[in-house]
Amino acid sequence: HEGGFLIGFWLSPTARPLESIMTALLLTSGYCCDTGAVAPSFHVAPMQCYTNRHLRFLLRRLNAAAVLWTEMEKAADLLASEAALERRLMHAPAERPLVLQLGGGEASELRRAGELAFARCGEFDEVNLNCGCPSIEKGG
């Protein structure tokens, strides 16, 4: 890979998700193969139904520099239930840097859900807005 950063690899559709992500964290260090330069960041993509605070804590122990993400959460669902919001998004400082991923189509809902998540669940380092994922009906 000429001049590029090695920050991940393709996973087989038959791979077990947890085993695959742990392997990626152990094998991928975020450096350029050609120059040895350090990549700005290595992001661990969320896996629906697997990425919770316990898995993020384990991933953090495996790679202290990785940027972790929450699963994509539907803004409307989080606004409907503070218990669900806390269960899905509560995190420990050790999980940071952490990206909050919110999905929805209404700007006011996304804003309110983001504000509520920060107020009830702690700081996030980034917010990612998913406004058109085809599987948004399955998320959250």
Q: Cβ(92)–Cβ(55) under 8 Å?
A: no
Q: What share of the chain is helix, strand, coil (3-state, %, to 5)?
A: 40, 15, 45
Residue 133 is among the residues annotated as catalytic for this protein = yes
How many angstroms separate the CA atoms of 4 and 7, rounded? 9
How many angstroms separate the CA atoms of 21 and 132, rounded? 25
Per the residue annotation, which of 33, 121, 131, 133 is the catalytic one? 133
How many angstroms separate the CA atoms of 88 and 53, rounded? 8
Tell me which residues are annotated as active site: 133
